[in-house]
Amino acid sequence: MSAALAGLVILVIGDSQMMAMLPNLHSQLEGDGAVVYSYAVCGSTAADWIGPGVASCGTLERLDKAPAVADAKTRPTWNVGNLIAEHRPNLVVIQLADTMAGYGGKMDTPWIHQQVSGLTAKIAASHVSCVWVGPTWGKDEGPYHRSDGEVQAMSQLLSTTVAPCTYIDSTAFARPGEWPTRDGGHLYPDGYRKWAKAISESIARLRTKFAATAQ
CB atoms within 10 A of CB 7: 15
pLDDT at residue 215 in the model: 41
Assigned domain for 59 exists: yes
State how far Cα 201 lies from the chain centre. Answer: 15
Residue with the bigger pLDDT between 15 and 1: it is 15
CB atoms within 10 A of CB 106: 6
Of the chain, the percentage scoring pLDDT greater than 90 comes to 80
Say what the pTM is.
Answer: 0.94
pLDDT at residue 210 in the model: 73
Alpha-carbon radius of gyration of the chain: 16
Q: What is the tally of structural domains in the chain?
A: 1
What value does the mean pLDDT take over residues 170-183? Answer: 95
Assigned domain for 215 exists: no
pLDDT at residue 21 in the model: 96
What value does the mean pLDDT take over residues 36-53? Answer: 93
State how far Cα 212 lies from the chain centre. Answer: 22
pLDDT at residue 213 in the model: 39
Assigned domain for 4 exists: no
Preceding peptide of 23 cis, ω within 30°: no
Where does the pLDDT of residue 55 fall: very low under 50, low under 70, confident under 90, or very high at 90 and above? confident
Largest CA distance in the chain: 45
DSSP 76: E
pLDDT at residue 93 in the model: 98
Q: Is 179 exposed, middle or buried (0-12, 13-18, 19+ CB in 10 A)?
A: buried
Assigned domain for 18 exists: yes
Assigned domain for 1 exists: no
Q: Which domain holds residue 25?
A: 9-205
pLDDT at residue 211 in the model: 56
The string of pLDDT tens digits covering residues 73-98 is 888 899 999 999 999 999 999 999 99
Assigned domain for 57 exists: yes
pLDDT at residue 104 in the model: 83
Assigned domain for 31 exists: yes
- The mean of the pLDDT values for the chain is 92
The string of pLDDT tens digits covering residues 56-78 is 889 999 999 999 999 988 888 99
Assigned domain for 3 exists: no
The string of pLDDT tens digits covering residues 136-169 is 999 887 787 889 999 999 999 999 999 999 999 9
What is the CATH classification number for the domain harbouring 91? 3.40.50.1110
Angle, vertex CA 32, rays to CA 24 and CA 135, nearest 5:
45
